[in-house]
Chains A and B, each alone.
Chain A
Amino acid sequence: MTAAANTKTTATTTYHDDLEIVRQELDKCMKCGNCMAVCPVYSIDKVESAVTRSKIAVADAVLTGELSLDDPQVYHMVFNCLVCKSCMTNCPTKVNFDRIVLALRAALVRKNGLPWLKKMIFSTLKHPKLFDTGMKVGAAMQGLVFRTDKTKKAISPRSPFASLGEGFGFDADRQMPELTVTPLRDRVPDVIKVDKPALKVSFFTGDSLNYFYPDAGQDLIEVLTANNIEVHIPKDQSCCGVPVLVHGDIDTVRTLARNNIDAFDKTGSDYLITGCGSCGGAWKHDYVELLAADPVYGLKAKHWAERTYDISTFLTKVISFRKPMGEVRSVVTYHDSCHLKKSMKVFAEPREILKSIPGVTFKEMSAPDTCCGSGGSYVVSHYETASGIGKRKAEDINKTGADTVSVGCPACMMQLLDNINRFGNAQKTRHYISLLAESYRKEKGK
């Protein structure tokens, strides 16, 4: 049986399926307000409904029937959150707020279904081939709507579209990464062999590295092979599902999870490597949680969760990566992506890698782990708040005097690209793995 065929079969025992299950999480909140200090949405909106504890109070009111999920304000509140988990790291009683907000979103979708646009996009995600074709068509057509800044590989809306998009942040200044004509997985073979490999790993590319930052994806592969690692890139992998998960479409994310597990089971590799905090978090935590009640895939999800590593952790903790020798003259600062730091607890490793590169001067920005405001589609649905948050990030980056801001998550790279364009000093935004790859390349005088 294919994964797609058994979408709705599993028992309904997670908070994704039953809002009641989060009640005990709600009770943990003592309304102390510590979350206010770190919630990026509150820092801009300055209203209680933006603060975690209020979202908890509203969830409580929904459970007691005082408020209804159909209330448009409740709907708005439930989606006015980046699911960045900053509040969770500052919460004295360890309320797992991500569960609360995801449970609410899933309950909303169960009750009212998905809005048509989301439904359309998410259903194509379930059919990776169709989605892939769509992205390629999009890449071919983007020139009609967008103009390209060749040096940055960035695109901005052309004038008629720019004036339509004003107010939604799709104005003429809005920079987005170019959608690639040849995605990563079309650029490389399924298996990239090396002589006498030390290890065999599988690379989960995720959509962003595949379609938006394929060069960074190639850099990641190059770094692995430079460390004598054989790399498998299963062609039939699909989106990790996090963008869908955060919109409450649990059926689709379960389908994607099973698809991906099938694709990686076939490789039989020792490790699963990611280059994106969201993808890594999906494999390490979300799949296990979502498939807990599935007798077959539940176990498989656990198997992979134990073998999933962000590329930086893999390089520093699993193998001892070869110290790079080529000089990369650059002043670099590092932005801690929420999903990497707060979900995967990865923060020391990328810094260790950056500091190992000859020529790199590392400058820490103040509060490097405050959210950049991306939150996947949050930046589209709440452009104003997101760009308030992004502006602050850009200012922190400016203060370091760095010429490059390095990140470990493509979604943050997109947000930083736009905000540096608006508020920054023309700094480059690069995945830390690209800097390492560049150093390895320079060794060979390339």
Chain B
Amino acid sequence: MLDRSIIEKLEALVGKENVLTSKMDLVAYSYDATADVPRQAPDVVVLPTTSEMVQEIVNLARANKIAIYPRGSGTNLSGGTIPLKKGIVLSMQRMNKILDVDAANLTAVVQPGVVIAALNSAVAPFGLIYPPDPGTVTTASMGGSCAENSGGLRGLKYGVTKNYIMGLEVVLANGEKVRFGGKTVKNVTAYDFSNLFVGSEGTLGIITEITAKLIPAPKYRRSMMGIFKTLQDAGNAVAGIIAAQVIPATLEIMDQMTIRTVEDFANIGLPTDAKALLLIEVDGMSQDVVTAEAEAVMNVVKTNNGDLHTADTDQERDQLWTARRNALPALASLNNTVVLEDATVPRSRITDMLVACENIGKKYNLTLGTFGHAGDGNLHPTILCDKYNKEEISRVHKAVDEIFEAALGFGGTLSGEHGIGIAKMKYLGNELGQSGLNLMRSMKEALDPEYLLNPGKMVPLKEV
């Protein structure tokens, strides 16, 4: 428990209504969307409304050595917002103003609590979009998605969050506020700080304002589904599409386990004997280009022994994407716990990775389905298990270890989009090596020597 005087000071800083201390409220901030990570209630939740307030809170926390956990919407899948060491949860939920939409410069300036979809609604009247669209686009915050460097369905063609962050305002652990980047298309001044803080998972600074890049909304699109009898055919089709020099906006894959589960769950008429499905969308500004790209994709699907199903109307398109949207919920409905992983490989190794996941599932006798962003090699092996069954959970942990081993073995990475947080910290050395871990620690200590910001995430606490 924190000293009453600290609570009173916090109340004086942000107003009583923005400081939560009841046990009930603390329970409400003791978890995020991640399964199988420890739950922990903070000492207090503070909801600032300005960056000056954030500075004052940081100063107060530093003076009293209290940990701070920045929190957006708490939808991350790596335990990033769990207040492991107790202290202050700094919720950005009430810093949710869109400060500026500048259509002439194709930029928007927002507070970190703005929900991604809200930004998209605000820029839609200008014919613009902010492309990063994680599965949680209607709930995740701009701050959280910056800190996680989120990707989404459109990542293959349009890139991920870091490609759209032009400038930030950040409050550092020493209480100073820094601003860098801005509305200029070109900006090479000093170090590339945007890229340092994007993806830093709340461990290096608190993002208090974001200048985001917008792009014109594509005008035309075509969606289709390729149905394959073997994983190899599906994998080859992915490679073939890229080789045909088409970059689809979306190129998603589902394995048989996922197909069957989705079909059971949603009855949308998926081919349950298929070994894999590819869901593909091409888009662009000109009808001709989009048509040509769609035809190229269809050819590749056919030459790889795939059956084709195209969506010619908006309604058919919706139906097609319903399948993808239902993948996680359908799998999740199989049991009480969903361990959703995020292993990512170079796209030429997609087939290898799919086969590896299937085998690992069999080896540990687990219900495991894999779906994900085939186009960028970002797969979500998803394990359904019973949290009350200790023995099964230990098999899950072994399987997860092997999944990441496999991904790294194929030249891949631990995370394509969900970040490291608590969940994947232990594997970090396998990817970065000792020198990489040392660099991580140097960065952390340069900016946050006392481990006040989101301690215990990404960089392990120092053993004393």
Contact = CB atoms under 8 A, between A and B. Distances in A.
Contacts of A76: 24
B122 interface: no
A37 interface: yes
A148 to B, nearest CB: 37
Nearest to A31: B33
B25 A32 contact: no
A123 B452 CA distance: 56
B14 interface: no
Interface in A196-242: none
A66 B74 CA distance: 22
B24 A32 contact: no
A46 B338 contact: no
A196 B91 CA distance: 67
A328 interface: no
B174 interface: no
B23 interface: yes
Interface stretch (A14-22, A54-62, A161-169, A262-270): A54-62
A92 interface: yes
Contact of B328 (A27, A51, A92): A92
B23 A32 contact: no
B145 to A, nearest CB: 13
B73 interface: yes
B27 A47 contact: no
B93 interface: yes
B321 to A, nearest CB: 14
B25 A73 contact: yes
A165 to B, nearest CB: 22
A94 B333 contact: yes
A54 B22 CA distance: 14
B25 A30 contact: no
Interface residues of B, number: 37
A74 interface: yes
Mostly helix, strand, loop or mixed at chain B's interface? loop
B423 to A, nearest CB: 14
A92 B332 contact: yes
Interface in A60-91: 61, 66-67, 71, 73-74, 76-77
B197 interface: no
How big is chain A's contact interface, by range? 20 to 34
A92 B329 contact: yes
Contact of B24 (A37, A46, A58, A93): A58
A27 B336 CA distance: 6
A247 B295 CA distance: 60
B28 interface: yes
A54 B336 contact: no
A28 interface: yes
B348 interface: no
B267 to A, nearest CB: 14
Contact of A48 (B29, B34, B329, B338): B29
A34 interface: yes
Contacts of B69: none
Nearest to A49: B28
A245 interface: no
B23 A73 contact: yes
B138 interface: yes
Contact of A37 (B20, B33, B138): B138
A36 B47 contact: no
A61 B23 CA distance: 10
Given A37-B117, A48-B74, A73-B22, A57 B31 contact: yes
A126 to B, nearest CB: 33
Interface string B332-376: 110011100000000000000000000000000000000000000
A93 B332 contact: yes
B75 interface: yes
Contacts of A33: 33, 73-75, 136, 139
Given A47-B47, A61-B27, A93-B333, A30 B338 contact: yes
A61 B332 CA distance: 22
A93 B73 CA distance: 19
B139 A30 contact: no
Contacts of A77: 24
Contacts of A49: 20, 24-25, 28
B32 interface: yes
A257 B25 CA distance: 36
A67 B115 CA distance: 31
Interface in B317-335: 326, 328-329, 332-333
B50 interface: no
B30 interface: yes
Most chain-B CB neighbours within 10 Å: which of A76, A77, A92?
A: A92
The 5 closest A-B pairs by CB, nearest first: A92-B329, A73-B24, A54-B28, A48-B28, A37-B138
Given A33-B73, A47-B25, A67-B27, 20 more contacts: A28-B336, A30-B332, A30-B338, A33-B33, A33-B75, A34-B139, A37-B139, A46-B94, A47-B47, A48-B28, A48-B91, A49-B24, A49-B28, A51-B28, A54-B28, A57-B28, A73-B24, A77-B24, A92-B333, A93-B333
13 contacts: A30-B35, A32-B33, A34-B136, A36-B73, A36-B139, A46-B94, A46-B96, A48-B74, A57-B31, A58-B28, A67-B23, A71-B22, A92-B332
Interface of A: 27-28, 30-34, 36-37, 46-49, 51, 54, 57-58, 61, 66-67, 71, 73-74, 76-77, 92-94
Interface of B: 20, 22-25, 27-35, 45, 47, 73-75, 91, 93-94, 96, 113, 115, 117, 136, 138-139, 326, 328-329, 332-333, 336-338
